[in-house]
A and B are shown apart, each in its own frame.
Chain A
Amino acid sequence: MDNVTLRVFRGDASGGAEHDYEVPTFPGMVVLDAIHYIQAHHDSTLSCRWNCKAGKCGSCSAEINGKPRLLCKARVRDYTTDNAPIVVHPLKAFPLIKDLVTDVSWNFRVSEKIAPFTPAADAPKPFVMQQMDVDRIQEFRKCIECFLCQDVCHILRDHNRKDSFYGPRQLIKLANLDMHPYDSLERRKMMHEEAGIGFCNITKCCTEVCPEHIHLTDNGIIPLKERVADIYFDPLMWLSRKLMGKK
């Protein structure tokens, strides 16, 4: 079959440049296959994270022609309609380690701050929940933590507000916990004050890049914004909750 040119960013924190590699193609080939070919035949030092090569682990996140993608789910033929090279760069929102590998440790540090699921002591054993009660959180739990949504979010990508915004991935994690029928923790304060949900202005870029097709904005972030607004911006609601002793 035909060859394709990959134009891959090579370098580290001190700088770098694009390099071109010729790679033979085969049916069903994904961009990660092309990276593997380069490692085996052109340069064994080309750094790239990967693990499952089946779209399930979320390791091989990168940017193809400027768009965040999983390399293992990006079909080469989708990029060969013209004769231009396939340009592969590391995620832009995170510090570069080397070539296609970036330092995504910030995501883990933020995630650690979110208290895990905590059922009330008197929650029934076993839990009794209807499917319709868990449909929405199951959608959020499909997340494979590829961090493409974090990469594309302009609050992190362009404004680097990692100091005050947790990003779509962690908001979805909070949504999943907050909407669990048996979670007993009050999480809205964290959403508002620490996670910075107010920063999100609903451009839905995160939803567009999600390889699991999670409706982050519509099903997760917007309902969370409403929940936060209930408590912070509606004095009547606030007072009635206070008086009724509800969270």
Chain B
Amino acid sequence: MEAYDTYEHDVLVIGAGGAGLRATIAAAEAGLNVGVVCKSLLGKAHTVMAEGGIAGALANLDKKDSWQVHFMDTMRGGAFLNNWRTVELLAKEAPERVLELERYGAVFDRTPGGLIMQRPFGGHTYRRLNHVGDRTGLELLRTLQDRAVATGMKCYMEVAITRLLKDGDRVVGAFGYYRETGRFLVVKARAVILATGGWGRMYQVTSNSHDSVGDGAILAYDAGAELMDMEMVQFHPTGMIWPPGVRGILVTEGVRGEGGVLRNAKGERFMFDPKYTPPAYRGRHAETEEEAARWLEDKDNNRPPPELLPRDVTSRAIYREVLAGNGTEHGGVYLDITHRDPELVKRKLPSMYEQFHALGDVDITKQAMEVGPTIHYTMGGVRAEPDTCATTVPGLFTAGEVACGVHGANRLGGNALCDLLVFGKRAGEAAAQYAQTATHGTIDETQIREESEILLAPFESSGTENPYLLTQELQAAMQEGAMIARTEEGLSQCLSQVLELQRRAKNLHIDGSRLFNPGWHTAREIRFMLKISEIIVRCALERRESRGAQWRTDYPDPDPEWAGKNLIATKDGDAVKITTRPVPQIPAELAQLFEGAK
């Protein structure tokens, strides 16, 4: 076994996106020594790609807004698969976290009264998305980055963690390698926070960053943690679809929040078709184009346009329009904001203007955008306790997209960024508290040896499989079989393809040295992607109903039996064990809110 570097921290944070950095600040402010590991350079996390805003019921524009309405909107949007307590914390604490971010230096757009500007978004009853044009995620991340750096934390940039190290039941550190040199390292910690983000890269059409491969979820799964609701993968309704070089790049929901409308190739505002509005949303949106137009000027007395239905609903509608032959030349629909003042469009949506101009040769102030669903977010993940973000493994905490509990079967736009802040802070505090009493564990050399052998095997292998091409095959299989419309047949076929690719991944071969070798990096990531794909597909097969993002065309309706069940996936040797668990019941005082709202 070759030598490796060893570091020691009170708290180790894996991942330097919004959740990881907010956790870092919290743990450091508790007086602890914090180490942060990120796969890329600091500040490049997928959080920077969040565009439209951060939800938080500040009620700067709509005085009727409150945490209670945010709570109800989030539960309804998640088809009630969410953990009510997690949602309660999210809705109650989001406003405070947003104002705190402003005091950390974030500069939000302003209302005429000089407060933080809020915009409407899908599934939110009131204007609730605090934003900075269409680059809110960048603002959040850069602000947290500067604040975290000032705490004196130690950041390990371009380090890939490939295994959590355990001492008995407890997680006591992590093992990985520096991407620059290929050298191994061990980071010992009294508590570990997993904040590694989601997984969209196993699909062909995705808005996700290169790093979003789900390694964190599999690290936790391998360490014995429970994964929950893994079938719930969000398809954002509006990704770029043409030209092919930009396919999947996100077009923010903020376009629709600022008045953008969806039309099919016949020019119809198809979202007004009543068949697309699910029962839980009937009567909540404008029913005529005239009312939707009036809403732009007078939000108090008019209902929002149906383009602002939740993402799962809108994605399905687009999919069905295209299937019905009403799609555009390149298989999408039109998103049109040309009726708005060009200067307003450029000011409120500068990144969209730039991205279509530079990459798609489209001037969005003059031409409609062609859009279609793109993989965007993973609601499922490592099951976390609402108050403490603790996983089922002692010493391991989790927050952000890798964690599961708050979004249920479908996430509302804007709820990802407040999730990062609310639960990043909570995870940091809970991990700090745990670390104050926990001792450092013993590092088990056997685990290190096993992992280093796995890592180095493709260099020595006589196999012929290419990690890049294997990744492409996986993406094709998942895009075909585990996309927006799912069937038993399609999922079963997808599963057998994934299992076959897992078998072939044992014969990966890579060339070159360990010095910044992207082939080597891909060889480890494909194993995480293959495992997580298997779990997604198995859970999607298991849930024989349609709910939120899970649309089974062979079971097209929600099933009351499934309404109260979360799916749990755990490691059972080489097999994935899937069980159901009752969704925690909403207590009477919160359930009453929904009665009052009727």
Contacts and interface: CB of A to CB of B under 8 A. Distances in A.
B104 A138 contact: no
Interface stretch (A52-60, A153-161, A219-227): A52-60
A55 B519 CA distance: 23
B468 A30 contact: no
Interface in A104-159: 104-105, 108, 111-112, 115-117, 119, 123, 125-131, 134, 137-138, 141-145
B133 A39 contact: no
Interface stretch (A15-23, A43-51, A189-197, A238-246): A43-51
Chain B interface size, under 10 / 10 to 19 / 20 to 34 / 35 or more: 35 or more
B244 A27 contact: yes
A52 B49 contact: yes
Residue with the greatest number of chain A CB neighbours at <10 A, chosen from B132, B515, B522: B515
B244 A49 contact: no
A36 B103 CA distance: 41
Contacts of A89: none
A57 B150 CA distance: 22
B454 interface: no
A145 B244 contact: no
A127 B513 CA distance: 53
B242 A28 contact: yes
Contacts of A144: 48, 138
A45 B354 contact: no
B517 A45 contact: yes
B355 interface: yes
B107 A51 contact: no
A116 B150 contact: yes
A141 B139 contact: yes
B466 interface: yes
A51 B44 contact: yes
B244 A59 contact: no
Given A98-B516, A180-B107, A26 B245 contact: yes
A29 B110 contact: no
A115 B150 contact: yes
B577 interface: no
Contacts of A129: 107, 110, 114
A178 interface: no
Interface string B340-366: 000000000011001100111000000
Contacts of A138: 107, 109, 132-133
B530 to A, nearest CB: 17
A126 B117 CA distance: 13
Contacts of B354: 55, 213
Interface string B36-69: 0000111111101100000000000000000000
Nearest to B467: A44
Interface in B312-353: 350-351
Contacts of B135: 56, 142
B265 interface: no
Contacts of A75: 245, 358-359
A39 to B, nearest CB: 6
A98 to B, nearest CB: 5
Interface range on chain A (Cβ under 8 Å from partner): 35 or more
B42 A108 contact: yes
A97 interface: yes
A54 B137 CA distance: 14
Contact of A47 (B147, B245, B517): B517
Interface in B461-480: 466-469, 472
Nearest to B58: A126
A215 interface: no
Contact of A56 (B138, B211, B468, B522): B138
Contact of B516 (A52, A73, A97, A115): A97
B44 A44 contact: no
B472 to A, nearest CB: 7
Interface string B109-134: 11001111100000000000000110
Nearest to B246: A28
A53 B210 contact: yes
A144 B350 CA distance: 14
B289 to A, nearest CB: 30
Contacts of B102: 126-127
B149 interface: yes
Given A134-B110, A137-B107, A40 B469 contact: yes
A48 B518 contact: yes
Interface string A196-228: 000000000000000001000000000000000
A177 B142 CA distance: 13
B510 interface: yes
B250 A54 contact: yes
B41 A49 contact: yes
Interface string B225-263: 000000000000000001111100110000000000000
Contacts of A51: 40, 44, 46, 209-211
Given A44-B512, A108-B41, A116-B105, 17 more contacts: A28-B242, A44-B510, A44-B522, A45-B510, A45-B519, A47-B516, A52-B46, A57-B45, A57-B49, A99-B516, A115-B150, A129-B107, A130-B114, A134-B107, A141-B142, A142-B135, A142-B350
18 contacts: A27-B244, A27-B245, A44-B519, A45-B518, A45-B519, A46-B518, A51-B211, A52-B46, A54-B249, A59-B40, A73-B359, A112-B149, A117-B104, A117-B105, A125-B103, A141-B139, A142-B138, A180-B107
Interface of B: 40-46, 48-49, 99, 102-105, 107, 109-110, 113-117, 132-133, 135, 138-139, 142-143, 146-147, 149-150, 157, 180, 207, 209-211, 242-246, 249-250, 350-351, 354-355, 358-360, 466-469, 472, 510-513, 515-519, 522
Interface of A: 12, 26-30, 33, 36, 39-40, 43-59, 73, 75, 97-99, 101, 104-105, 108, 111-112, 115-117, 119, 123, 125-131, 134, 137-138, 141-145, 177, 180, 213
- Would you list the 7 A-B pairs with minimal beta carbon distance, nearest first? A28-B243, A117-B105, A44-B519, A28-B245, A45-B512, A40-B468, A128-B114
